Amino acid sequence: MAYVEQNGSLNVGLKLEKGFALLATILNNVHGGKASFEDFLPQRGEPQEEAAASPQDLFRLLQSVKR
C-alpha cells in the first residue's frame, strides 16, 4: 500500500494514458504550443453541471413531440 500511496494506481491503462499525455505535451511545447499536461488527459469523474429546466422549457419540449 505504501507504493500505491507514493506512486498512484497500479492500473496499466492509466499509466499509459499519462505517458502518452506527457509525450503529447512535450511534442506540443517543442513545436511552439502552449498546452499543459492536463490538457491531454481525459476528464474522469468530474461532475457535469446540469442546467435547470424551466416549466416553459418542458412545455416546449412536449409541444415538439406532437403525434
pLDDT tens, position by position, 11-51 = 999 899 999 999 999 999 999 999 999 999 988 776 667 77
The pLDDT of residue 64 is: 85
The pLDDT of residue 46 is: 66
User: Does the CA dihedral 7-35-26-11 come out positive or negative?
Assistant: positive
Range 58-63 average pLDDT: 84
Q: Half-sphere exposure of 24 toward its Cβ, with a 13 Å CA cutoff?
A: 14
Q: Are 24 and 38 in contact (CB under 8 A)?
A: no
2 phi/psi in degrees, rounded to 5: -65, -40
The pLDDT of residue 67 is: 61
Confidence of residue 9 (pLDDT cuts 50, 70, 90): confident
Q: Look at the pTM and tell me if it is higher than 0.85.
A: no
